[in-house]
Amino acid sequence: MAILKILTDDNPRLRLKSQKVVKFDKGLRQLATNLIQTMQQSNGVGISAPQVGELIKLIVVDVPEDMDYEGSPGFKAVVVNPEIVKCEGEQLGEEGCLSVPGWYGEVKRFKDITVRGQDVFGKPVKIKASDFTAVVFQHEIDHLSGILFTDLVLPNTLHKAKAAEDSIKDEIEEKVGETI
């Protein structure tokens, strides 16, 4: 296993279309394992092969339990050649990306989707996802076409995350103000 370097939005490889996987071998399974480890190390909930410079259709999704709605189950998947075959509803939410560190913005996505693809051994998989998990799937599948969330962000919603020390400073000032 290895932690891979995540490409950032200034790298033109992120804008290229990925190729369909036709060879389901040990190398593909190793890449999937490395993607999982890289995503976890970076505190992400999803990652795609193009984000580490591999232009193949492979994504990893790992949404922790209760991240979406209280009581919702966690969801983990590695999907090869994923495609959205059904979508319904709309939702609006803030997104970020491991390849666009520190930036966030509002993106309109489908609320419910069905994804078809294959596992790392080539067996067919069909996944139904809703809410935040559906957002993660759509975000990662976009990467396979060279699309970044910043291409889809609603006008005037893209913003840089507040630095941690600014956030702590604001919190302290708030608490001091409450005690006076």
Q: Which of 140, 119, 131, 116 is nearest to 74 (CA)?
A: 131
Other beta carbons within 10 angstroms of residue 29's beta carbon come to: 14
| Residue 159 among known ligand-binding residues | no
Q: Which of 151, 149, 122, 147 is nearest to 45 (CA)?
A: 149
Q: Which two tokens stand for residue 145?
A: 């076409």
E strand or H helix that includes residue 86:
strand 75-88
Catalytic residues: 140
Q: Which two tokens stand for residue 117?
A: 């693809």
Q: How many CA atoms lie within 13 A of 160 on its CB side?
A: 4
Q: Which residues contact 17 (CB under 8 A, 6 or more apart)?
A: 55, 144, 145, 146
Q: CA 96, CA 94: separation in Å to the nearest integer?
A: 7
Q: Which residues contact 166 (CB under 8 A, 6 or more apart)?
A: none
| Residue 87 among known ligand-binding residues | no
Annotated binding site for Fe cation: 97, 139, 143
